[in-house]
A and B are shown apart, each in its own frame.
Chain A
């Protein structure tokens, strides 16, 4: 029996959250993972590391990000007497999404390990841009792997990464999207492991990545918790976030996991759970992908199937092992919303609050629109607005049939 006090103490020393997590990687990488874990534990004990990271988060990223009360949004959805809704404004960070938090921290960690070269994967390009930014700031060599399909969809982010001094390598294998970019980044890492740190962008992959990316993103929830207590004198009753790999959701949830707060993760149902989607927690099965055991989209023979979402950042067939654990232990609820619902929420927030969200958190907002009318007036909802929508202008214009 796991007590609530145990929850925030996971993963265990083998990197497991209940039955999920672990290290399913080629032997060549095992020592590098042990080295990374060791470096991370040492850094965590080292006040100087924490101070340097805090300074960069403050002076470079612009933390703390505010929380914003979204009254017009809440009223548009649920009318007079709607419960209060707050948005955690990760869209206001430098580079425009929460990804920068973990990218900078891992860049500092790579420096500590004496590894001058960084490889990373990117889907939409947000993590690639964040990584390229951190590498430019810290003077690290940067190679970003990106699926050919995503390179085409996200030409602007490719150009950004190049301006920041990164080399962008196009991946033509497999489905030519995020999962194939991860395969290529891992191949590069296997080959160059002695000089290279793999700067993984989400709470996926082998231990210790799900642990360290969570810890580096937990700043989101810790800030929001203190800010909400100051603004409202209480905790939220519900914390809501979108889930692809799941880093912004874990970053929000972690501060509340031992509190009486409903945690809700929103996956991408794409064209619907009967069709093409990216919702492994809702419609996948446990298995092993990219180094850890978690839920994933797969066929009856254990072959990984392709994901689909209008949001490139959620277009991934796997999900972080801690989410799998939060699901089976029933600590968090997981729901899904379609491309069309996310698009509607994208427009709704833009029109009511003057904030154009990224398509990823638009999924969380879409579930808010379903949830809010059912809630009592005294509920307090916190939504993680994980990024801004500038990167999605082309995609949204296409979806709405607009030629720019």
Chain B
């Protein structure tokens, strides 16, 4: 089976740049919005996309994502609808890594074996489960491995050496490094403690490191690129979509990714 995530990091390393991973809540703002948004993200320069699976009690998310999830749930969106969006993108020939980011209970309610099989069949490459630390993850990690889906663990600036080592040992795909002690949401600058935190993780984990939470500008991506393998942009995407008129949405999303990936400056320099 093709490991799209491993291939992505091989490519970006060869190109000497960080991968840019975009996050957007699945099936939002409308239940059928995801395929178009994902294509626009990829066209603008995103290398991979994480789709948020709506949950009623998203306690690791800030107000921006929480409101988006609630809107999706109010429209009747389920985990299966998000999987259907992934399937549609694959049928349309999209080959970029696609991940699901969510909370454990909806996966547990479906059954972890059934859920990981459905995710793999839809074309999902990885899972990020924000309330499932490595100690509790076995019942999802085993079926995920069996179906060739990466279970990506998170680490935080508060993580101890033992916890970093455990994620280094059990992790898969990449490590999601949370840049701040806090919830998701855009911030003015990248945390000052980030370089020291990333250095600690590097010591114990050979996997690619992606940095998320609070990344919303090209400078943040560049800063992260100097020390890590990928930058994850979430709330800035959500805000852009929220603020754009519907008919301008895809242009706005493409434009944001062009700025964040540096293509916009490259374009300007070329003209």
On whether the beta carbons of B135 and A23 are closer than 8 Å, the reply is yes
For window 64-108 of B, CB contacts with A under 8 Å fall at: 66, 70, 73, 78-79, 103-108
The residue of chain A having its C-beta at the shortest distance from the C-beta of B153 within the complex is A27
User: Which of B158-166, B216-224, B235-243, B247-255 forms part of the interface with chain A?
Assistant: B158-166
Q: Given contacts A24-B132, A26-B131, A31-B160, is CB(A190)–CB(B70) below 8 Å?
A: no
A257 at interface (Cβ–Cβ under 8 A)? no
On whether the beta carbons of B106 and A302 are closer than 8 Å, the reply is yes
Interface string of A149-187 (1 = CB under 8 A from B): 000000000000000000000000110000110110011
- Of B109, B130, B135, B156, which one neighbours A302 at CB under 8 angstroms? B109
Cβ of A378 to closest chain B Cβ, rounded Å = 46
Q: Given contacts A174-B57, A303-B73, is CB(A288)–CB(B158) below 8 Å?
A: no
A contact face: mostly helix, strand, loop, or mixed: mixed
B199 at interface (Cβ–Cβ under 8 A)? no
Cβ of A188 to closest chain B Cβ, rounded Å = 9
Report the bound CA distance from A298 to B132 in whole Å: 19
On whether the beta carbons of A174 and B155 are closer than 8 Å, the reply is no
* Count of chain A to chain B residue pairs whose CB atoms are closer than 8 Å in the complex: 115
Q: Which of B135, B153, B160, B181 has the most CB of A within 10 A?
A: B181
A304 at interface (Cβ–Cβ under 8 A)? yes
On whether the beta carbons of A27 and B159 are closer than 8 Å, the reply is yes
Q: Given contacts A289-B105, A304-B56, is CB(A191)–CB(B131) below 8 Å?
A: no
- Of A34, A186, A301, which one neighbours B59 at CB under 8 angstroms? A186
- Of A23, A190, A302, which one neighbours B182 at CB under 8 angstroms? A190
- Of B108, B135, B158, which one neighbours A28 at CB under 8 angstroms? B158
Report the bound CA distance from A25 to B154 in whole Å: 11
Cβ of A13 to closest chain B Cβ, rounded Å = 11
Q: Given contacts A190-B183, A194-B181, is CB(A32)–CB(B158) below 8 Å?
A: yes
On whether the beta carbons of A183 and B59 are closer than 8 Å, the reply is yes
Report the bound CA distance from A218 to B156 in whole Å: 35
For window 282-322 of A, CB contacts with B under 8 Å fall at: 285, 287-291, 298, 300-305
B110 at interface (Cβ–Cβ under 8 A)? yes
A77 at interface (Cβ–Cβ under 8 A)? no
Give the 8 A-B residue pairs with the shortest CB-CB distance, closest first. A302-B109, A302-B106, A28-B156, A191-B182, A26-B60, A303-B56, A302-B105, A27-B154
| B interface list, Cβ under 8 A from A | 55-60, 62-63, 66, 70, 73, 78-79, 103-110, 130-133, 135-136, 153-160, 163, 178, 181-183
Q: Can you report 28 residue pairs joining A to B where beta carbons are below 8 Å apart?
A: A14-B135, A22-B135, A24-B132, A24-B136, A26-B156, A28-B156, A28-B158, A28-B178, A28-B181, A30-B158, A31-B159, A32-B158, A34-B160, A173-B66, A173-B70, A179-B57, A183-B57, A187-B59, A187-B60, A187-B183, A190-B182, A191-B181, A191-B182, A193-B158, A285-B109, A298-B109, A302-B55, A302-B109
| A interface list, Cβ under 8 A from B | 14, 22-32, 34, 173-174, 179-180, 182-183, 186-187, 190-194, 285, 287-291, 298, 300-305
